Structure 1
Amino acid sequence: MSSGCPFTGAASPTGCPVSAEAAAFDPFEGPYQVDPAEALRWSRDREPVFWSPRLGYWVVTRYADVKQVFRDVETFSPAIALEKITPVSPEAEATLRKYDYAMNRTLVNEDEPAHMERRRALMKSFELDELAHHEPMVRRLTQEYLDRLVDKGEADLVDEMLWEIPLTVALHFLGVPEEDMDTLRQYSIAHTVNTWGRPSPAEQVAVAEAVGKFWQYAGKVLDKMRQNPSGHGWMEYAIRRQKELPDVVTDSYLHSMMMAGIVAAHETTANASANMLRLLLENRAVWEEVCANPSLIPNTVEEALRHAGSVAAWRRLALKDTTVGGVAIPKGAKLLIVSASANHDERHFENPDDLDVYRANTADHLTFGYGAHQCMGKNLARMEMRIFLEEFTRRLPHMELVPGQTFTYLPNTSFRGPDHLRVRWDPAQNPERRDAAAREPRLSFPLGAPNKQDAARVVRVAAVTPLAEGIVGLTLEDPRGRPLPRWSAGAHVDLLLGEYVRMYSLCGDAEDCSRLQVAVLHERTGRGGSAYVHERLKPGDEIRMRGPKNHFLLREDAAHYTLVAGGIGITPVLAMADRLKRLGKPYVLHYAGRRRATMAFLDRLARDHGDALHVYPADEGRRLDLPAVIAAVPEGGQVYACGPERLLDALAALTADRPDVLHVEHFTATGTSLDPSREIAFDVQLADSGLTVHVPADQTVLHALRAVGVDVPSDCEEGLCGSCEVAVIDGEVDHRDKVLTAAERAENRRMMTCCSRARAGGLTLAL
């Protein structure tokens, strides 16, 4: 709690004063209902954990703190996740008893070890191979509903499409018979109001009546499904599992999950889809970009879930005295952990309030939760939202929001989506009126987390400049004159050059957001990327680019820096020298090459770094004395190097006795491909999720994790970029990447899942 907050006359349960902002916080009306992240900006900035007297909860708003609460199931119980946030009136309780309402613990609000035992028993229906069975049904439903709208010219997408389809999908996923779907539809919304809303006493009775009927009817449908549980539905699978594990999958548990599953799979996806379309249509340039490049759809869906997800908050109960964000939380305290606020935390997301469909870490959002209780249905929701967006951008790219409409939301703490979403378009401009092929899908997206390789922006080549023999510089700009992303020394971009994807370090002015610069060596024996640049690329051409990304980060707290570059390896080293000079840090720069004519940036280096520069052209008889360079590194100094493998290997050998000194960037990956005849299979324990994943000899850890729905980002998948890094808790890693330093490998605290494996036995990962 910030000591500068004015005392309001109220105090938290720990006796600390309550600030004016905390005292005024009301999640049921006002700013929180309109935009939870913006409403809690003050909290993220000044009071990230605060006591809300109106709610009777501690409110947690920053990314790291929310994730801490999610992952620590021993300290924070989900038992109150479905507890009615407004006390139930005696009349409403009597109404629920009339229907024998007995909602039990579910996967959402059950403690360990019972929760994980049931989760493991029922997980299979959510694996990617199983979810694939439902994709044709989702596509068919979306096309049928859109067919009804496409020639109307105006629609309320919530009423006419987005509310209906996710509910139908949810019922199909559960395996509900067609004849029972309409009745269950009528009861679904009452459950949300009953649990997370603030109904009046009179409204509570009406809501309880609907909830009771929902409960009763769900039981009847479940009994009907027991007669032939042979389909792909989750409840049908659960019924089959009950015969094997009757003490784990009980009758009361099935009944509760039947009802909770409908709500979980329906309303969150319906609201998320409406939020997504509103967000994109309000950001017209982004909408048009996605229409033009549908490969952006998976990342766009993820960015929409981060920016305006349908799950704003969850609740937890403290099982013991603890601290969150430095604030003392007493045993028995109730917490509202606001994922919508965490998803806009600038400490984790660069420019968090921007809608950036190229964002590299957008899948880090906490809309699906995290850890053992992460949403099991996340990949079903992703599938639906991607199909919705693909169909709308293809068939109605000219759709727009009806001007002047006011967006309203069902008042509640946790779920957020507009009651209505009115859009309009000119049917005469529908693409399918000119080309019937526009009715057919263009892309089918792999299930699971988005592939970073699809999130590539278009850039224009502003200039191609000779820098040295066999080296040209590319100056890249946005075709529409918009600023390009900020970057830091050591960063690189991936350029998509025809059929090639190549990584190039940035070497221009990091302060200039109007352009990016890279240098490209023409490798005569290369695989074709550099030839594409040198022989085909010209000013005015447009190419696609991913990034910037930085896996060669310059640590700025060292006492001294030794920079070593060999050949084209000068590119990231030049950016580091520029940064160190700007910071006023002491440094030396050693630059080796075959001949001066083949060494790029010599004039600029002499101009900007002359006092620190040492140049070693081999044809002049000047040789880089690496032992002497390393011997001269002072106490507290760091070495950053980029160049040919023989140079980096020599530096690694010379710093073997102090491996924390050396930081390198490699050009290529070697030894990262799998040879199933020589590999061993092993198991991976996921500490935060409670799962055990088997990794066969012919599969990487990365792909084994994805197969069971665990999100791990990746990019190069060659051990070069570091995107797929995870934390290691236990086990010995066979490191095969080119990212970690020798010291980091010796610590054995992290690994790259795209290539590294277990050396012996298994591994335990913090996932």
Structure 2
Amino acid sequence: MSQTLTGCPVDHRALQPNGCPVSARAAAFDPFGGSYQVDPAASLRWSRDEEPVFYSPEIGYWVVTRYEDVKAVFRDNILFSPSIALEKITPVSDEATATLAKYDYAMARTLVNEDEPAHMPRRRVLMDPFTPKELVHHEPMVRRLTREYVDRFVDTGRVDLVDEMLWEVPLTVALHFLGVPEEDMDTMREYSIAHTVNTWGRPAPEEQVAVAEAVGKFWQYAGQVLEKMRQDPSGHGWMPYGIRVQQEQPEVVTDSYLHSMMMAGIVAAHETTANASANAFRLLLENRSVWEELCADPGLISGAVEECLRHSGSVAAWRRLVTADTTIGGVDIPAGSKLLIATSSANRDDRHFEGADDFDIRRENASDHLTFGFGGHQCLGKNLARMEMQIFLEELTTRLPHLELVPDQEFTYLPNTSFRGPDHVWVHWDPAENPERRDPALLGKRHPVTIGEPSKAAVSRTVTVDAITPAADGVVRVTLSDPSGRPLPRWTPGSHIDVDLGELSRQYSLCGDPNDLSVYEIAVLEEPESRGGSRYVHHTLQAGDTLTMRGPRNHFRLDADAERYVFVAGGIGITPVLAMADHVKSAGKDYEIHYCGRDVTTMALLDRVGTDHGDRLVVHSSAAGNRLDIPALLAEPVAGTQIYSCGPERLLAALEEATAHWPEDSLHVEHFTSNLTTLDPANEHSFEVELRDSGLTVTVAADQTVLDALRASNIDIQSDCEEGLCGSCEAPVLDGEVDHRDVVLTKTERAQNKSMMTCCSRACGSKLTLAL
């Protein structure tokens, strides 16, 4: 490869013959056609595996494809400037430039492409309309529009979802959200496409003037509407809100800024949602069994939206400018370089998403996707898009569950580097089978919309109760399976699942064989002081019933590298310990089990424990007078030994006291219950949480959890139990001392002060800094 490659940042003259650093695949990379347009993530698999950061002579950009590298670029808006995010990726003709000039086109900085220190002050003052508490007011409007558009075609039997709903509804929602009059729909559609092609596409020379003409008219139209709003900025919508903010802070929100945001906001709020929705319907209908699951259980929809955004999102890539010499993924990148950060590729990186090419609507980390970006420039409208997609899916899975893709259709895409959605998605169905003809009442049903990132509680699956059998006096063993006979998710010793029992959700440790994924086994003790969960299992649940289950998750992990293990189980606490002992035995490790209970007749699974671990088992029964002497058992620390225990709080407290002289973190425990109580503002204090990646500072009130404060500020963070038991809401801590109130972190982890559970833990002082 010769030095004639334009824009190549490497001095080829200094290299040996054939020593060009631009590989054949990198040289052939073309984001405007071929496999990238069909499936950008799949087309870059070679890069993720072999060359995660490469230079593309075709576009003059360095391309970044792995998840951690892309996220690191998003995190640092100083080193990696967003200033080129809206720059034309393809130079245009002088005639096209002159065409834009005649319309006084002056698209400048927006929230997308603005550098610090100007960006964050504007983002802060303009963010409130995007928060969940404000977005909830838009839900009825989105539902009404969606219903009206489906009404138009529900009895036709064949439709292009893009033309008849998925393009126009998001556009109308975008205009409504911005406060723009709902008019000139066809013209606005033309403008929006032209803007995308002008900025991210490669229009042919003969097309460039026409594109510029449409963009110029779009700019002019945006200015005219803005001027109308200035006459009376009291109305609803983001732009009137921005005008009102301008009146108070004119140095932050300027005239030129509002004009640019008017135009950019229409495109951002409309086109990305339309494309994401079209991608989602194609993906779901191509995976028929998943579509049928959503039809049967609308509770799965919010999780399905996240997985659609991850697997086939509408944002394929963003762009950044490198402001100083740096290294990305081990590759030296000189200052002045341009980056194409391939979010679509990052979202299918097996290093972060297990089985990343699989489409799994129950994937617990699906919302880690980077389709909305990350950090200080994360998409403000992400939750509006999530809301729309959930409502679209609910409406069509309810009214047209028999919907199918028209076979053999060709899916085409507007050629560009960054935004992706099929031009058409043709579907057909038999109107005679429309369920509303048999049951008009279903039109009145509504499923709650998740405004924000769905919690882990939303990632659920239905399981069948195969059997309920006695495991001891007052204990039953429950066997669960997938209703369709599919394998259940893999799990490791110490894992638990969350099960919905009537109106309650309870956690139970898995005690079966991790290698047998045809069933899960749990054991449930009927507690005299039960809040209802164990009573439900013992007196209401029957074989053949179905339950909603989440997980498995594991915050009680077994250290596979220990030399020796001491297992201490108290009562029903044998369930996670048994799976651990099975694993240790199969690995040929040294171990002993101390199983404690009131009486052998009440000790769950005792026969199984004795059969499989008899020579390593010591049974301690209060009734028999041989209670476990914990201080004697643990009197002398034994090198290489790890202690694992699950049981009542008094047992765990005694173990903690007895191991105080052992090496740090020799003891690992699993708690049955949380000690959390309702926050009492009289005993708490308010504090600030600085969010380093987002550039925000959030105030946590005395009667508010950190988790609630984050969500109110539009920050994505998952949760499940919200009792400090499950670890779902963990957040990285950068500075400030945490008042830890969870039962997940170990003593060492608390002392290290590197993370906190946001559902319950608080600040000891006046401020915490989190990596969010």
Fold equivalence (TM over 0.5):
yes
| Equivalent residue in structure 2 for 1:719, among 724, 747, 759 | 724
| Equivalent residue in structure 1 for 2:760, among 755, 761, 766 | 755
1:20–1:636 Cα change, 3 Å: farther
**In 2, are the aligned partners of 1:78 and 1:316 still within 8 Å (CA)?**
yes
The answer to whether the aligner puts 1:343 opposite 2:340 as a matched pair is no
Q: How does 1:586-597 map to 2 (within 5 A)?
A: 586-597=590-601
Name the amino acid aligned to 2:608.
R
Query: How far apart in 2 are the matches of 1:82 and 1:655?
Result: 60
Query: How far apart in 1 are the matches of 2:464 and 2:140?
Result: 38
**In 2, are the aligned partners of 1:390 and 1:441 still within 8 Å (CA)?**
no
Q: Secondary structure at the match of 2:55?
A: strand
**In 2, are the aligned partners of 1:372 and 1:690 still within 8 Å (CA)?**
yes
| Equivalent residue in structure 1 for 2:319, among 297, 315, 318 | 315
Bigger Cα displacement from structure 2, 234-243 vs 296-305: 296-305
Bigger Cα displacement from structure 2, 382-391 vs 523-532: 523-532
Query: How far apart in 2 are the matches of 1:636 and 1:213?
Result: 73
1:43–1:590 Cα change, 3 Å: farther
Q: How does 1:293-308 map to 2 (within 5 A)?
A: 293-308=297-312
Query: How far apart in 2 are the matches of 1:59 and 1:614?
Result: 60
**In 1, are the aligned partners of 2:121 and 2:252 still within 8 Å (CA)?**
yes
Report the counterpart of residue 370 of structure 2 in structure 1.
366
The answer to whether the aligner puts 1:702 opposite 2:707 as a matched pair is yes
Superposed CA deviations along residues 392-443 of structure 1, whole A, max 9, x for unmatched, are 1111111111111010111111111000000011111112212222222422
Normalising by structure 2, report the TM-score: 0.95
Name the amino acid aligned to 1:726.
A
Q: How does 1:590-739 map to 2 (within 5 A)?
A: 590-656=594-660, 658-739=663-744
Name the amino acid aligned to 1:244.
E
Name the amino acid aligned to 2:688.
D
1:41–1:611 Cα change, 3 Å: farther
Report the counterpart of residue 429 of structure 1 in structure 2.
433
1:612–1:32 Cα change, 3 Å: farther
Report the counterpart of residue 161 of structure 1 in structure 2.
165
Name the amino acid aligned to 1:536.
T
The answer to whether the aligner puts 1:746 opposite 2:746 as a matched pair is no
Q: Secondary structure at the match of 1:640?
A: strand
The answer to whether the aligner puts 1:766 opposite 2:766 as a matched pair is no
Task: Give 1:147 deviation, angstroms.
Answer: 0.9
Task: Give 1:112 deviation, angstroms.
Answer: 1.2
Name the amino acid aligned to 1:715.
D
Query: How far apart in 1 are the matches of 2:184 and 2:464?
Result: 55
**In 1, are the aligned partners of 2:3 and 2:11 still within 8 Å (CA)?**
no
- What RMSD in Å do the two structures reach over aligned CA positions? 2.1
Task: Give 1:752 deviation, angstroms.
Answer: 0.7
Query: How far apart in 1 are the matches of 2:536 and 2:571?
Result: 20
Q: Secondary structure at the match of 2:388?
A: helix
Report the counterpart of residue 580 of structure 1 in structure 2.
584
Bigger Cα displacement from structure 2, 322-331 vs 115-124: 322-331
1:698–1:217 Cα change, 3 Å: same
> Which ranges of structure 2 fall in alignment gaps of 5 or more residues?
13-19
Task: Give 1:631 deviation, angstroms.
Answer: 4.0
Bigger Cα displacement from structure 2, 31-40 vs 449-458: 449-458
Report the counterpart of residue 59 of structure 1 in structure 2.
63
Q: Secondary structure at the match of 1:677?
A: helix
The answer to whether the aligner puts 1:13 opposite 2:10 as a matched pair is yes
Query: How far apart in 1 are the matches of 2:510 and 2:32?
Result: 48
Query: How far apart in 2 are the matches of 1:23 and 1:321?
Result: 23
Task: Give 1:489 deviation, angstroms.
Answer: 1.4
Bigger Cα displacement from structure 2, 553-562 vs 190-199: 553-562
| Equivalent residue in structure 2 for 1:406, among 407, 410, 428 | 410
Q: Secondary structure at the match of 1:502?
A: strand
Task: Give 1:157 deviation, angstroms.
Answer: 0.7
Query: How far apart in 2 are the matches of 1:273 and 1:160?
Result: 13
The answer to whether the aligner puts 1:330 opposite 2:334 as a matched pair is yes
**In 2, are the aligned partners of 1:184 and 1:217 still within 8 Å (CA)?**
no
Task: Give 1:683 deviation, angstroms.
Answer: 1.5
Task: Give 1:285 deviation, angstroms.
Answer: 1.1
Task: Give 1:224 deviation, angstroms.
Answer: 1.1
Task: Give 1:180 deviation, angstroms.
Answer: 5.6
Report the counterpart of residue 236 of structure 1 in structure 2.
240
The answer to whether the aligner puts 1:149 opposite 2:177 as a matched pair is no
Query: How far apart in 2 are the matches of 1:718 and 1:300?
Result: 26
| Equivalent residue in structure 2 for 1:512, among 494, 511, 516 | 516
Query: How far apart in 1 are the matches of 2:77 and 2:677?
Result: 36
Query: How far apart in 2 are the matches of 1:692 and 1:205?
Result: 46
| Equivalent residue in structure 1 for 2:120, among 96, 103, 116 | 116
Query: How far apart in 1 are the matches of 2:571 and 2:448?
Result: 43
Report the counterpart of residue 3 of structure 1 in structure 2.
none
1:585–1:22 Cα change, 3 Å: farther
Bigger Cα displacement from structure 2, 217-226 vs 129-138: 129-138
Report the counterpart of residue 198 of structure 2 in structure 1.
194
Q: Percent identity?
A: 69
Name the amino acid aligned to 2:593.
L
Equivalent pairs counted in the alignment come to: 762
Task: Give 1:751 deviation, angstroms.
Answer: 0.8
Task: Give 1:736 deviation, angstroms.
Answer: 0.9
Superposed CA deviations along residues 709-752 of structure 1, whole A, max 9, x for unmatched, are 11110000001000001011111211111111111111211111
Task: Give 1:355 deviation, angstroms.
Answer: 2.2
**In 2, are the aligned partners of 1:312 and 1:414 still within 8 Å (CA)?**
yes
Task: Give 1:516 deviation, angstroms.
Answer: 1.0
Query: How far apart in 1 are the matches of 2:659 and 2:696?
Result: 39
Name the amino acid aligned to 1:729.
L
Query: How far apart in 2 are the matches of 1:347 and 1:255?
Result: 42
Task: Give 1:705 deviation, angstroms.
Answer: 0.8
**In 2, are the aligned partners of 1:659 and 1:741 still within 8 Å (CA)?**
no
**In 2, are the aligned partners of 1:476 and 1:516 still within 8 Å (CA)?**
yes
Query: How far apart in 1 are the matches of 2:49 and 2:623?
Result: 58
**In 2, are the aligned partners of 1:652 and 1:659 still within 8 Å (CA)?**
no
**In 1, are the aligned partners of 2:347 and 2:356 still within 8 Å (CA)?**
yes
> Which ranges of structure 1 fall in alignment gaps of 5 or more residues?
1-5
Bigger Cα displacement from structure 2, 57-66 vs 707-716: 57-66
Bigger Cα displacement from structure 2, 742-751 vs 341-350: 341-350
The answer to whether the aligner puts 1:285 opposite 2:289 as a matched pair is yes
Bigger Cα displacement from structure 2, 52-61 vs 143-152: 52-61
Superposed CA deviations along residues 595-616 of structure 1, whole A, max 9, x for unmatched, are 2222233343344334543332
